[in-house]
Structure 1
Amino acid sequence: MNAQKITYILAAVVVAGLLIYVGVTNFGGSDQSGSSSEEESAQNDSNSSSGASSDIASGSNYEGYGVSTDNELATEAGMQILEQGGNAADAAVATSFALTVTEPYGSGIGGGGAALVMNGPNASPEVYDYREEASTTNRALNVAVPGFVKGMAALHEEQGSGQFTLAELMQPAIDYAENGYEINSYLASRMYYAQPRLNQQNSPAFYDENGNLLQEGDTLVQEEYAQTLRTIQENGPESFYSANGAIAQQLTTDYSHITPESLQQYNVQTPEVAQGTFEGQNVYSAPSPLSGVTLIQMLGMGERLNIGEALQGNEADYIHMMSAITREAYYQRLENLGDPEFNEITTEEYVSEGTIDDLAQNVREERLDTEELENATGYNSSDGQNTITHSSTTHVNVMDADGNTVALTNTLGNFFGSGQTSAGMFLNNQLNNYNETPSSPNNIEIGKRPRSFIAPTIIQDPEEETVMGIGSPGGSRIPTAMAEVIFRMEYLDESYEEAFAANRSFVDVVEGQATLAIENGDQPENAELIEEINSKYGDRYFIAPDKGPSYFGNVTSLIKDYDDEEMQGIIDQRRGGSAQTQ
């Protein structure tokens, strides 16, 4: 990803008079054409998305491995599996279960997620969608059918090394739940702000014997949740999804809209990956109804609009261009993306070269200058989808010695999900993530999966001979936070750590009012920037009060460099995190 790095993929080496040429092969093939409107579809029929060349690591035996997550204990659980002979999928499963204990606000067996699995540095990733499904059309009931347990079981069964049972991969999580761990500052703050929903009756583990909420430095022991994990460990996923399963029986008793049939019928989906290119790199991400399509569109628009020049030049102009790109991509998401099982959605169409050309032209002609705010709604509150506060998610990257990569993002929706519990587990609030508008591709229907901003992503750079897993929590800020980091890594001469730590911005348009949040915008060192934005674009944006660092996500990545034979785990410290590499 670093533009300063000297590469040597296409090099001619004379050895004993023999010319050895290492060629770079073409990857992918043609995607279906796409357009941003019916009127433009005819002219775009011949446009297609072409993958970048992808033959990397052709002469490398580099066996580096690593794990990066939002939590040190979970990272340690994954590394132990890798060091004991497990592969990336094994470690990702162990890490994910551990995170349900160590970050109970961010993910859980009462939630869901999605994973990308790349088996080798030159492979096309496979997608596992284990998002929640609606078993009712009453959004007020909050809880959708969880998919986490079946998702982890599928990853283990279909992608695991065979060296570990699912029960063994769950053991670190059970140990953390039974033995407890010290509450860190971020968990303590999340517990404090969640008190209206995190009450002692539903969540006694989070309170002491005097009824006081546990504090930073206290030990959190989750005995009831540990027992639920043990039930799955001993009886398998059927205990969660079978009508006769102990967990299923309690869940359907506690929440009657989740029926035995809805649990039994739940399946993990394996759709085609969303694939695009950015500056010669292959970008793979999660397809609709997830937001990998949105991320790919943003990266493609940035490349076409020369956002690198803006980034290297005037910061106010860069923020304005980033905001325009965000609004265009989010508008397309709002209008077009939803569960493809219920909508005629072809992912290739929305990430094709022709479609992204059109979107970039829209930004150039309509958003950077004339500012058509009526088309700027990314998640307008009047649309009936409450996504602004649903910011609690966790991301995992794992790479093993054989070159396999897993990037996955798990979520409960809001912090601690709905705040409702069953069998010691927090339950999601994903029914809130459907739209009320009947014409929306994200309107609520039984069996449908809601749209989500999560975008687990793998980026393969043939020129630099690197593979990167990347993702973030942060609700609606996820694609924007990831795009800003990727832009900085590509276009600026700065370290990865500097790219991740740099201030971010986010534009939110609600009922025609564009509100611009700028990280640390209230600090003296940014006073001139705010003044310049107001001077140049004050008629277009309302500058929001500072939102605090965690508002802007917590981008987590893991990079394997086959050229320099090194691993790097880069962790955004807005919410904390941990990476270990070997």
Structure 2
Amino acid sequence: DRFPALEPEKPETYVLLASVMREAFAARAASVGDPEYRDVPAAELTSERWADAAAFRIRAGEHEPVAASAAGEGTTHVSTYDADGNAVALTHTLGIYSGVTVPHTGIALNSAMDLFDPMPGRPNSIEAGKARVSGMAPTIVMDGPRPRIVTGSPGTNAIVTNVVQVIAAVLDGQLSPVEAVSTPRVHCEGGPVFVEGRIQRAAREALRKAGFELREMPNNYGASFGRNQLIVIDTRGGFRGASDPRRDGGIAAYSEL
């Protein structure tokens, strides 16, 4: 309620999305790390007070620069839902897959060390035995006791930004699952805003006017913007799914007759 509903593909929608992304990544870089090694202010970051302050900074155009994290290509996501109302959102990653395995086990090693901050003394800096911050965001949106949306994605840091955009497209934009995973996307971690080739000129101009530097990507459906796997459940328990057209994926249903 701090901002109007996000109408799909409107210039002001992309400006607000990029601003919120920038704010969120700045908060993550400043405060989030392994809770076994530092106090993570989770209650503060999810409080009304923090949201009000973030909204004020967004309206005022205030922000801190944030360095982008390393990319990876070895992530998969599965969204599932059944007739009994059970829902699962599962994301798994190796980071950048190398083919290196533990001998005689078939267990593939990941590259998750590159998700640490290489600079010492920061929330996500490298320490022995420490878990690194991850961008994975398997998500189930609840409507009271019932799941309403089951979603998630591969895509490194674009996971969380595409999940947010897809959820907004369903709830604010009232789009179908196929429409929601297909809408043009932006991605911002605090530096430039990456925009898909289909983003309209008016939206690009609005982003520049708001002070954002743009990285204009050539692809209309760029895999670097995430590959969302989505299920939307209606109030009667019926459900529909969609797989992001940006890369390989699919939907399937099973019924016992």
**TM-score normalised by length of structure 1:** 0.40
Q: Secondary structure at the match of 1:413?
A: coil
- Please give the per-residue CA displacement for 1:315-366, whole angstroms capped at 9, x wherever unaligned: 3322222111110000000000111011112433321222222222221223
Deviation at 1:575, TM superposition (A): 1.5
Deviation at 1:550, TM superposition (A): 0.6
- Please give the per-residue CA displacement for 1:415-447, whole angstroms capped at 9, x wherever unaligned: x1x443334443101111111222211111111
Match of 2:134 among 425, 447, 452: 452
* Residue of structure 2 equivalent to 1:179: none
* Residue of structure 1 equivalent to 2:43: 348
Q: Secondary structure at the match of 1:323?
A: helix
* Residue of structure 2 equivalent to 1:488: 169
Gaps of 5+ in 1: 1-302, 382-386
Higher helix fraction (1 or 2): 1
In 1: Cα distance, 2:204 partner to 2:43 partner: 42
* Residue of structure 2 equivalent to 1:52: none
> How many pairs are equivalent?
251
Question: Is the Cα contact below 8 Å between 1:337 and 1:442 reproduced in 2?
Answer: yes
- Provide the identity percentage: 29
* Residue of structure 2 equivalent to 1:358: 53
- Structure 2 residue identity aligned to 1:571: S
Matches for 1:277-356 after TM superposition, within 5 Å: 303-308=1-6, 311=7, 315-356=10-51
Is the radius of gyration larger for structure 1 or structure 2?
1
- Please give the per-residue CA displacement for 1:10-41, whole angstroms capped at 9, x wherever unaligned: xxxxxxxxxxxxxxxxxxxxxxxxxxxxxxxx
User: Does residue 420 of structure 1 match 2:100?
Assistant: yes
- Please give the per-residue CA displacement for 1:132-153, whole angstroms capped at 9, x wherever unaligned: xxxxxxxxxxxxxxxxxxxxxx
- Structure 2 residue identity aligned to 1:572: D
* Residue of structure 2 equivalent to 1:254: none
Deviation at 1:571, TM superposition (A): 1.5
Matches for 1:59-98 after TM superposition, within 5 Å: none
In 2: Cα distance, 1:535 partner to 1:422 partner: 49
Q: 1:429 to 1:469 in 2, by over 3 A?
A: same
* Residue of structure 2 equivalent to 1:396: 78
In 2: Cα distance, 1:527 partner to 1:493 partner: 20
Deviation at 1:559, TM superposition (A): 3.2
Q: 1:339 to 1:484 in 2, by over 3 A?
A: same
- Structure 2 residue identity aligned to 1:520: G
- Structure 2 residue identity aligned to 1:540: F
- Structure 2 residue identity aligned to 1:478: I
- Structure 2 residue identity aligned to 1:469: V
In 1: Cα distance, 2:202 partner to 2:141 partner: 32
Deviation at 1:533, TM superposition (A): 4.0
Q: 1:457 to 1:530 in 2, by over 3 A?
A: closer
Deviation at 1:531, TM superposition (A): 6.0
Question: Is the Cα contact below 8 Å between 1:516 and 1:542 reproduced in 2?
Answer: yes
Question: Is the Cα contact below 8 Å between 2:11 and 2:204 reproduced in 1?
Answer: no
Q: 1:356 to 1:551 in 2, by over 3 A?
A: same
Question: Is the Cα contact below 8 Å between 2:25 and 2:189 reproduced in 1?
Answer: no
In 2: Cα distance, 1:470 partner to 1:330 partner: 20
* Residue of structure 2 equivalent to 1:574: 246
* Residue of structure 2 equivalent to 1:536: 209
* Residue of structure 1 equivalent to 2:179: 498
Q: 1:315 to 1:376 in 2, by over 3 A?
A: farther
In 1: Cα distance, 2:86 partner to 2:237 partner: 15
Deviation at 1:410, TM superposition (A): 0.6
In 2: Cα distance, 1:429 partner to 1:460 partner: 33
In 2: Cα distance, 1:517 partner to 1:376 partner: 15
Match of 1:467 among 144, 148, 151: 148
- Please give the per-residue CA displacement for 1:509-544, whole angstroms capped at 9, x wherever unaligned: 4xxxx32221125xxxx563366347634x531333
In 1: Cα distance, 2:52 partner to 2:182 partner: 31
In 2: Cα distance, 1:480 partner to 1:324 partner: 11
In 2: Cα distance, 1:450 partner to 1:483 partner: 22
Question: Is the Cα contact below 8 Å between 2:116 and 2:126 reproduced in 1?
Answer: yes
- Across the aligned residues of Structure 1 and Structure 2, the Cα RMSD in angstroms comes to 2.5
Matches for 1:5-404 after TM superposition, within 5 Å: 303-308=1-6, 311=7, 315-367=10-62, 372=63, 375-377=64-66, 380=67, 387-404=69-86
Deviation at 1:468, TM superposition (A): 2.3
Gaps of 5+ in 2: none
- Structure 1 residue identity aligned to 2:50: T
User: Does residue 518 of structure 1 match 2:195?
Assistant: yes
- Structure 1 residue identity aligned to 2:176: S
Question: Is the Cα contact below 8 Å between 2:136 and 2:156 reproduced in 1?
Answer: yes
Question: Is the Cα contact below 8 Å between 1:409 and 1:471 reproduced in 2?
Answer: yes
Match of 1:550 among 223, 226, 235: 223
Q: Secondary structure at the match of 1:543?
A: strand
**TM-score normalised by length of structure 2:** 0.86
Q: 1:431 to 1:322 in 2, by over 3 A?
A: same
